[in-house]
Each structure stands twice: as C-alpha cells, then as structure tokens.
C-alpha cells in the first residue's frame, strides 16, 4: 500500500454540508417575512439592474429620484433569478411590504448564519485600502473563504447589501463602514456586529457636517458600539485624538490594540526602509514578537495601514505569514493609489510617464500624504492635478490654501487645480495678484475636470513625468484618468 489515499483526503469542515446557493427563496422568506411566488435559488445580490449577473437576486429599492421596480424587467433580461419587490410581478420573486427593510433583514440573516470572524473598518482616510488588504490577507490564509464589501459600499444601503452577499461558508468577513453625520456608524456597526473594529485615522473629512475634529472622532468611535462580547478595538496611537478614541473603545471592547510608532503602541513600528520598486520593508513588534514584511504600496500612510492590518489579523486569529505575503503583492486600487504607465505624448514623444490615480476621494490629510509621496517619487517633472475637497464647511478656504505648503516642500513642478474651491490655493501659489507665497511653480486653475484634461493634454504627458490625480469624487477626475489610461489598454 502507498500513502496515496491519505494524500488525497481533504480536511472536513462542517460548512461543507451547507448548500451551494447563496440564498433559496425559502430562506429569503424566513429572513424577510415576505411571500414567495414559488421556489428559486440565487447566487448573488444586486441593487443596480445594470450590474445584474446570471443568478442574482435583484432588490427593487425605492430612492429619492427612482423606483427600482421600473428596472425589474431589465434585471431579468440580464439574468436575474429572482427579485425582492413590493408588488407582484411575472418573474420569480418574494413580495414584501418594504424592499429596503427586506435588504436590511437579509443582511441580518446573513450575519446570523455564519460562524466567521468579522472585522469592521472605518476612519477618515485609508479605510478602503485597509479593508482590501485585510481581505487579501485573510482570503489567502483561509483558502478563499474570506468575504468583504466591494468598492465603497459602506453606507446604509451598501453595508446590508455586502452582508447579504456573504456566503454561509465564510470564515472571515471584512466590512467597510463610512459616515458623514453622527449616529450613522452606530446603526451600521450594530448590523455588522464585528469581533474586531478598526479606526484607521481621524482627520477633517466631512468636517462641514461637524463642530470639529473631536466630533468626527466621536462619530467614528461609534463603530465600537457594535462589538461582540470579547471584541477588539484597534486605534491609531499616533493620532492626536488617540485618548478620545481609547476612552470610547474602553466602554465596549475587551481588548484595545494601538498601532503606530508611538512608544505606547501595541502594534509598534520599529523600522521602515525603502524597498526596491517603491514599497517599504517594515519591522514591527506585535503581541510580543517581531515581524518583518514588505509592503508593495509606497508611502508612510501604507506603513501605518499595514500595522492596523497585522493587528487585526492577529486579533481575529488569522495567518500573519499569509498577511505579509498579501501586503507584498497588493497592487494599488483604482482611484486610491493605482499606478499606470502611459506613453509620452509631448516633448519628443519618447519615453513613458507614471500616472498615480487617487481620483476617488480627498480630504486635507490624504492630500498632504499623497503630495508628499509624489515629491518622493523619482521623476524628471512632477505634476499634480488636484480637485476640490468637498464638505469642509466654514474652514474650506483655509484647508485648500494650506495645501501650498506641502506642494512647495515636495518641489512639485506643475499644478493644475480644478474646481471653485481651489481658488484659495491658486492664490496662495502666486497665480493671482498678491499671492501669499512667491514660488516659481507653474499653476493653472480651471473650473472642470474636462478643462483639466484639455490642459494636461496640451502639454503632455512628457517622458519622465510623474502625474498625481487627486480630488473629491464629485469633481470627476476619474474621467481624466480613464482617458489617459484607455489608450494604454
């Protein structure tokens, strides 16, 4: 006899006995209290008829300007296997009184049925990157049994949808939670009920809706209210609101892990050395041991993010070795640090330019970090296309004007400013008469992303350029990135 039978045996798992469908109509009825038109099974959940795939369950949600019931036929044309509706239709469906409530109910049912380690992530910046890094780490360590919210599905619709999409066999779930008003996170975290809750950082994002950064810290700290018994809170040790976050966490968490370079950090940075290719070799201390790993993504903010990731993986019982490998291989996310090589179209037309896509979001803290990183990027010419930062309230002008300092410190050669809020920065950089700072820096200020694209196209990209594109999503700079990269694909 040989050892072949033993080698072929696969470890058993109680989850293997569960069905392969994401939801059956019977399970949907049990969760929502609705009435099924007949038996059916679905393999996914969707709220946008344009995104429906074969086998999906389509939720006909009612919004302020549109009623999802208008798109039911289109959803089934694209392959939907069933729908949640508040009126009878000719296709397989579950009839409920309120489709939004049904989505939340199905999300709760998904959370209740899994035996999984759940992590919630929030913060003023970096939450999507941390969520994606955690997913990569835990998915690798669990052989594909990790789940996470996709894109930035982090609000009152996105969170229950992400929960409803979680398979019953999930071993780890990672959910991003966002807010721009007090009280929103408290509701979301009670849906997610995390075992580990992370606050990445506190900065003046959405500060126009708050009295100050302290109020933002309080609103972000609401994530701890949903922690399960014996839950773990992970907070930034280097943030000036650390004590405030810790006091809130102490009310709900059995354990608190601070991450950062401060002496009181539990996941503490010991050393960070630039790695070939633009990443960082990190040495850290965590849970009484030293860790050494490489981060593919450049920048000090990713060093801090990685400490939060490692702390969460350790707290949830994941594989730290797999986490290190995932961080070493993780590429930039679209709109949040993705890097593209584009052909030069100006000068002598030779060579290539680096395009850094940070077009999805912006606040004063993330702007400073990415401008600093642009300054550290080797380039013949450094170009920053910066869109307005939104929801900054009464201090909007000051926050924009203060970006002059990091731009000058980073020795940026060319700046294209987009949106009316950027007028203060244009003046500070010396574009307008009486500019606050005298600097030989080439500056253009345009109203729209389309005009910024024209401005950039007129002069480049040139070989050797490093071009940063960053602004609030509503400015629309993603279209500029897509235009530049479309020709390279």
The answer to whether 197 and 234 have CB atoms below 8 angstroms apart is: yes
Lowest mean pLDDT among 30-39, 154-163, 449-458: 449-458
CA distance 227 to 110: 17
DSSP codes, 203-220:
-STTGGGSSSHHHHHHHH
Mean pLDDT of 70-83: 97
pLDDT band at 250 (very low <50, low <70, confident <90, very high): very high
> Of the candidates 392, 387, 353, 396, which has an alpha carbon nearest to the alpha carbon of residue 367?
387
pLDDT tens by residue, 187-196? 999 999 999 9
> Of the candidates 10, 40, 360, which has an alpha carbon nearest to the alpha carbon of residue 205?
360
144 compared with 207, residue with greater pLDDT: 144
Lowest mean pLDDT among 260-264, 358-362, 418-422: 358-362
CA distance 210 to 180: 8
* Phi-psi category of residue 183: left, alpha or beta, with phi > 0 → left and psi -120 to 50 → alpha: left
C-alpha count within 13 angstroms, C-beta hemisphere, residue 259:
26
> Of the candidates 267, 370, 248, 348, which has an alpha carbon nearest to the alpha carbon of residue 314?
267
40 inside domain? yes
Q: Which two tokens stand for residue 381?
A: 């010419």
The pLDDT, as a whole number, for residue 187 is 96
The answer to whether 172 and 318 have CB atoms below 8 angstroms apart is: yes
The answer to whether 292 and 320 have CB atoms below 8 angstroms apart is: no
Instruction: Specify the CATH number for the domain of residue 65.
Output: 3.40.1390.10
Number of continuous H segments (helices) and E segments (strands) in the chain: 17, 22
The pLDDT, as a whole number, for residue 299 is 87
Same domain, 421 and 448: yes
CA distance 104 to 83: 15
- Mean pLDDT (the chain) is 91
Same domain, 211 and 319: yes
* Phi-psi category of residue 411: left, alpha or beta, with phi > 0 → left and psi -120 to 50 → alpha: left
Which uninterrupted H or E stretch holds 256?
A: strand 255-260
CA distance 130 to 78: 33
pLDDT tens by residue, 132-181? 999 999 999 999 999 999 877 899 999 999 999 999 999 999 999 998 88
Same domain, 321 and 349: no
383 inside domain? yes
Same domain, 319 and 342: no
Domain end residue (candidates: 291, 306, 329) = 329
- Domain of 214? 114-329
The answer to whether 386 and 414 have CB atoms below 8 angstroms apart is: no
10 compared with 152, residue with greater pLDDT: 152
Same domain, 273 and 400: no
Biggest CA-to-CA distance, the chain: 90
The pLDDT, as a whole number, for residue 186 is 96
Same domain, 364 and 472: yes
111 compared with 346, residue with greater pLDDT: 111
Q: What is the tally of structural domains in the chain?
A: 3
> Of the candidates 108, 117, 128, which has an alpha carbon nearest to the alpha carbon of residue 177?
128
Lowest mean pLDDT among 394-403, 414-423, 437-446: 437-446
The answer to whether 103 and 172 have CB atoms below 8 angstroms apart is: no
Q: Count the Cβ atoms, other than its own, within 10 Å of residue 9.
A: 8
Same domain, 342 and 323: no
Q: Which residues of 216-253 are buried (b: 16+ CB within 10 A; e: fewer)?
A: bbbbbbbbbebbbeebbbbbbbbbebbebbbebbeebb
CA distance 353 to 341: 6
> Of the candidates 170, 176, 130, 151, which has an alpha carbon nearest to the alpha carbon of residue 326?
130
177 inside domain? yes
Angstrom distances, CA of residue 336 to CA of 28, 118, 128, 472, 481: 36, 24, 8, 11, 12
Angstrom distances, CA of residue 125 to CA of 121, 122, 195, 204, 205: 11, 8, 21, 10, 8
Q: Does residue 18 register a pLDDT over 60?
A: no
304 inside domain? yes
Same domain, 87 and 172: no
Same domain, 145 and 223: yes
User: What is the DSSP-derived secondary structure letter of residue 275?
Assistant: P
Which uninterrupted H or E stretch holds 164?
A: helix 158-164
Same domain, 362 and 223: no
Q: Does residue 12 register a pLDDT over 80?
A: no
Instruction: Specify the CATH number for the domain of residue 312.
Output: 3.40.1190.10
Which pTM does this prediction carry?
Answer: 0.85
The pLDDT, as a whole number, for residue 336 is 83
8 inside domain? no
Q: Which two tokens stand for residue 116?
A: 């999984």
Q: Which two tokens stand for residue 366?
A: 């993330």
Same domain, 236 and 124: yes
pLDDT band at 258 (very low <50, low <70, confident <90, very high): very high
Domain end residue (candidates: 329, 349, 374) = 329
210 inside domain? yes
Same domain, 48 and 84: yes
Mean pLDDT of 314-331: 95
Find all residues with CB under 8 Å of 283, minimum gap 6, and list them: 269, 270, 271, 272, 290, 291, 292
User: What is the DSSP-derived secondary structure letter of residue 39?
Assistant: -
353 inside domain? yes
Domain end residue (candidates: 64, 96, 128) = 96
109 inside domain? no
The pLDDT, as a whole number, for residue 431 is 54
Q: Does residue 261 register a pLDDT over 50?
A: yes
The owner of tokens 């019931």 is: 69
Instruction: Specify the CATH number for the domain of residue 397.
Output: 3.90.190.20
Q: Does residue 2 register a pLDDT over 50?
A: no
Q: Does residue 7 register a pLDDT over 50?
A: no
CA distance 31 to 62: 20
Which uninterrupted H or E stretch holds 10?
A: none
């Amino acid at each position: 006899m040989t050892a072949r039978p033993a080698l072929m045996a696969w470890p058993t798992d109680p989850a293997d006995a569960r069905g392969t469908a994401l939801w059956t109509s019977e399970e949907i009825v049990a969760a929502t209290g609705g009435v099924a038109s007949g038996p059916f099974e679905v393999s996914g959940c969707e709220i946008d008829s344009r995104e429906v795939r074969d086998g999906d369950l389509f939720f006909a949600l009612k919004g302020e300007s549109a009623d999802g019931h208008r798109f039911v036929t289109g959803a089934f044309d694209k392959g939907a296997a069933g729908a949640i509706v508040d009126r009878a239709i000719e296709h397989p469906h579950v009839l409920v009184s309120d489709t939004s409530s049904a989505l939340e109910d199905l999300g709760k049912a998904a959370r209740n049925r899994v035996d999984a380690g759940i992590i919630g992530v929030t913060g003023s910046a970096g939450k999507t990157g941390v969520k994606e890094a955690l997913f990569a780490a835990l998915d690798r360590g669990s052989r594909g049994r990790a789940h996470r919210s996709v894109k930035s599905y982090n609000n009152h619709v996105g969170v229950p949808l992400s929960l409803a999409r979680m398979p019953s066999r999930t071993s780890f779930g990672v959910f991003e939670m966002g807010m721009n008003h007090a009280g929103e996170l408290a509701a979301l975290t009670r849906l997610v009920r995390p075992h580990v809750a992370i606050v990445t950082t506190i900065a003046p994002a959405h500060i126009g809706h708050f009295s100050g950064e302290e109020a933002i810290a309080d609103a972000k700290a609401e994530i701890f209210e949903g922690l399960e018994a014996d839950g773990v809170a992970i907070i930034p040790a280097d943030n000036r609101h650390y004590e405030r976050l810790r006091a809130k966490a102490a009310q709900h968490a059995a354990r608190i892990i601070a991450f950062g370079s401060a002496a009181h950090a539990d996941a503490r940075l010991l050393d960070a050395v630039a790695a070939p290719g633009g990443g960082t070799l990190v040495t850290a201390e965590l849970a009484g041991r030293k860790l050494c790993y490489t981060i593919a993504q450049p920048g000090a903010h990713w060093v801090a993010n990685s400490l939060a990731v490692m702390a969460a993986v350790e707290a949830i019982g994941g594989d730290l070795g797999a986490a290190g490998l995932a961080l070493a291989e993780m590429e930039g996310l679209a709109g949040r640090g993705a890097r593209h090589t584009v052909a030069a179209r100006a000068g002598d037309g030779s060579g290539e330019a680096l395009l850094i896509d940070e077009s999805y979001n912006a606040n004063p803290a993330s702007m400073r970090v990415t401008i600093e990183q642009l300054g550290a990027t080797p380039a013949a010419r450094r170009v920053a296309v910066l869109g307005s930062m939104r929801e900054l309230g009464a201090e909007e002008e000051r926050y924009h004007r203060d970006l002059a300092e990091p731009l000058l410190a980073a020795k940026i050669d060319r700046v294209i400013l987009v949106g009316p809020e950027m007028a203060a920065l244009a003046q500070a950089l010396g574009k307008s008469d009486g500019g606050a700072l005298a600097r030989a820096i080439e500056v253009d200020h345009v109203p729209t992303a389309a005009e910024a694209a024209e401005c950039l196209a007129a002069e480049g990209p040139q070989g050797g350029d490093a071009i940063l594109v960053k602004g609030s999503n509503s400015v629309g700079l993603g279209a500029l990135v897509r235009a530049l990269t479309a020709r390279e694909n």
